[in-house]
Amino acid sequence: QSVLTQPPSVSGAPGQRVTISCTGSSSNIGAGYDVHWYQHLPGTAPKLLIYGNTNRPSGVPDRFSGSKSGTSASLAITGLQAEDEADYYCQSYDSSLNWVFGGGTKLTVL
Amino acid sequence: QVQLQESGPGLVKPSETLSLTCTVSGGSISGYYWSWIRQPAGKGLECIGRIYSGGITKYNPSLKGRVTMSVDTSKNQFSLKLSSLTAADTAVYYCARSNPWFDPWGQGTLVTVSS
């Protein structure tokens, strides 16, 4: 069981907006530690999507955005495209466990 | 552009020690933290630990003293040793630079623990 909780799956039609939640606790997200998000296609290296809660690395489309509030964070994807179908992971720091990941969310584009 | 590449055996026997190396190219290993992360088949990502270029380490307590990391700045490499292997250690192992976000990552290497 992961320290950060994500829904196992989400889905949406092309062009729609989806959100992926990441719920933590007072020892990680709630303690003020930043949340980062990754996109992972099977057989490839995970790709950084969002760092420091809301920041996009160069080259990541602005269709991807992140937010954080309290003990939770969210990744939003607007204008859903077929190429967005992948696994998404949140990551933060836990004061007792070191760096931790969410369990991952599989995004299906219908 | 910094690139990372994992290397090591794809098959190791139970109770033995796994040794993996990550080679950093396109940039210096100095001045950064570097991490090992793994993903068992069908499961999520797990951070094994990290090492600073100066040699300071921090390991995931769930691995209970089985982990040792080292760095060789002259070769621009860092390494992972994981001892007392069991089938539960079968996974794809990634190396990554820690910022504290992980970027970039290596392509990953599949390690199977089996006799």
Task: Give chain B's largest Cα–Cα span.
Answer: 40
Smallest CA–CA distance, residue A59 to chain B, in Å, is: 13
Are A77 and A61 in contact by the 8 Å Cβ rule? The answer is no
Which chain B residue is nearest to residue A57, measuring alpha carbons?
Answer: B103
Of A85, A76, A93, nearest to B100 by C-alpha is: A93
Which chain B residue is nearest to residue A46, measuring alpha carbons?
Answer: B105
A96 has pLDDT over 90: no
Compute the average pLDDT of residues A41-58: 94
Backbone φ, ψ for residue A82 (5° rounding): -55, -35
Residue in B45, B52, B69, B107 to test binding to A, most A beta-carbons within 10 Å: B45
Interface contacts (A, B; CB < 8 Å): 61
Task: Please report, in tens digits, the pLDDT of each residue of chain B (115 residues total).
Answer: 999 999 999 999 999 999 999 999 999 999 999 999 999 988 889 999 999 999 999 999 888 789 999 999 999 999 999 999 999 999 999 999 998 899 999 999 999 999 9
| C-alpha separations of A20 from A8, A57, A98 in Å | 10, 19, 23
Least confident of A32-41, A90-99, B15-24: A90-99
Compute the average pLDDT of residues A29-46: 94
